[in-house]
A and B are shown apart, each in its own frame.
Chain A
Amino acid sequence: LKILDKKIWTYEQIDEIPEHSIILNGKEVEIMAASVKHGKWVFEVSNKLNKFFRKKYIIMVGEVGILINKKPLLILSADIVLVSKKKLKDISDRILEIPPDLVIEIEKEKEEVKIEEKINYYSSIGIKRQIWVLLSKREVLVIEDNKSVIYRFDDEIEILEGKKIKFSDIEKEVFK
């Protein structure tokens, strides 16, 4: 975890924070560049979600900023985020200040924030459903209403609204 600057950011300065930054307790933290594998996973998962959910949800990728706490300022970023079109009307230049309906994270080799911490932060703002794709173990951790279930890649896993995915199918697309 590399802190980039001694400056302490506040919520009032939120629009001045550099893009592609995460903020932990007001401090800007370096984000590690992702691997080819990670990038391909994010694409293939979001490509699949697009077919299922594009009518009802806004699907966002590429480290979308999510406000976790105003004071001290805490902003995290997620790989894939879904918010219902009813909740998010404005496609703005700002980060998300409402809890998404779904966050999907693809495990990186080096995480800026520990997975357990990030899960707790996401739960703290009421993100309803989190899906963590744990590449190293070929497992998927699903967290909903503070309950967590671990699935294997070969299991059919509900994403939202009864729509299911086998991550072993996505894996095949990744390495095609």
Chain B
Amino acid sequence: LVIKDNKSVIYRFDDEIEILEGKKIKFSDIEKEVIG
């Protein structure tokens, strides 16, 4: 769930999500690192 300027958008882990300043992360990639 990303909330910016009072607008909220729900993404899935496989989506590319902007963190800050155009830098994007896929949380599914992070999940792979967590589970190993």
Contacts and interface: CB of A to CB of B under 8 A. Distances in A.
5 contacts: A58-B36, A85-B36, A91-B34, A91-B35, A91-B36
Please report whether the interface of chain B is mostly helix, strand, loop or mixed according to DSSP: helix
B11 to A, nearest CB: 22
Contacts of A91: 34-36
Interface of B: 34-36
Contacts of B36: 58, 85, 91
Contacts, number: 5
Closest 4 A/B residue pairs (Cβ): A91-B35, A91-B34, A91-B36, A85-B36
B15 to A, nearest CB: 22
B20 to A, nearest CB: 16
A29 to B, nearest CB: 28
A91 B36 CA distance: 9
Contacts of A58: 36
A91 B35 CA distance: 6
Nearest to A85: B36
A85 B36 CA distance: 10
A76 B34 CA distance: 22
Interface string A33-68: 000000000000000000000000010000000000
A91 B34 CA distance: 8
Contacts of B34: 91
A44 to B, nearest CB: 19
Contacts of A85: 36
Nearest to B33: A54
B13 to A, nearest CB: 15
